[in-house]
Amino acid sequence: MKSIVALVALSLAMLVAGCSSSQQDSSSITVFAAASLKSTFTELGSRFEKDNPGTAVIFNFAGSSDLVTQLTQGAPADVFASADTKNMTRAAELVDGEPVDFATNTLTIVTAPGNPKGIKDFSDLSKPGTHVVVCAPQVPCGSATEKAEEATGVTLTPVSEESAVTDVLGKVTSGQADAGLVYVTDAAAAGGKVTAIAFPESADAVNTYPIAVLRDSTNPEAARRFVDLVTGPAGREVLAAAGFAAP
């Protein structure tokens, strides 16, 4: 009899645990977002959780191309925010409805504080002995770098190509590179850790950021509310404060 009672108790406990897990899953959304959105989306995620008690926002920040690869391989997510339209197009079959453009971003040069190499413009990045780090071509910031090279007529020889813009910034702030090409928002977030040098040709390499609810979302209503927050006045305010321009 005791063994039967114990078995029933165990079964009930497993049932309760399963229900709790299910409830927890249904009360959260997973957002795959470009690495350059980490600061702003973290802030917006906190605001969303405050406005939607009981609903948690789980983020996965990485290079947009890496995120698309994860999604196409079956990684579960509810929302995807890309740093360019190219990678959103790659995920088109996974998207529910039309993506919405919500921000734009441009490149800038960053160096160690004080600009010890005396870099004045894009062409200075190609000088012998200047260790430059950029994003890989398949990453949005890497694609923008290629456009900047075309606009300036300068071909760079980077010491490394990174899979996310935050990794480029990290190489510069850690002293592993003399200079790097990152978004103006990343330079602003780094504050005194870097010196930023604007270059006019960056206007030819503007990236537009789209966001969309994913077709296989397990919580589509909450996912749409998050997209509405990002694309609405509150999202625009947070993004603008970080240096993102309107789409």
pLDDT digits (tens, 9 = 90+) for 155-199: 999 999 999 999 999 999 999 999 999 999 999 999 999 999 999
Please answer whether residues 83 and 37 qualify as being in contact, where contact means their C-beta atoms are separated by less than 8 angstroms.
Answer: yes
Tell me, what's the pLDDT at 78? 98
pLDDT of residue 26: 54
CA proximity to 211, closest of 44, 50, 56:
44
What's the pTM value of the predicted model, to 2 decimals?
0.85
Q: How far apart are CA 153 and CA 32, in angstroms?
A: 35
pLDDT mean values, one per 10 residues, the chain (247 residues): 40 41 64 97 98 97 97 98 97 97 98 96 96 96 96 96 95 97 96 97 95 97 98 98 96
Contacts of 138 (CB under 8 A, 6+ apart): 65
- Beta strands 160-162 and 132-135: pairing type? parallel
Where exactly are the structural domains of the chain? 2-104+208-242, 107-204
CATH fold match for the domains 2-104+208-242 and 107-204: yes
DSSP-derived pairing of the beta strands 207-213 and 132-135: unpaired
Write the DSSP symbol of residue 216. T
**What φ, ψ does residue 146 adopt, rounded to 5°?**
-65, -40
**According to CATH, what is the number of the domain 107-204?**
3.40.190.10
pLDDT of residue 178: 97
DSSP 196: E
Assign domain 2-104+208-242 to a CATH class.
alpha beta
Residue closest to 66 by CA, chosen among 161, 142, 208, 164 = 164
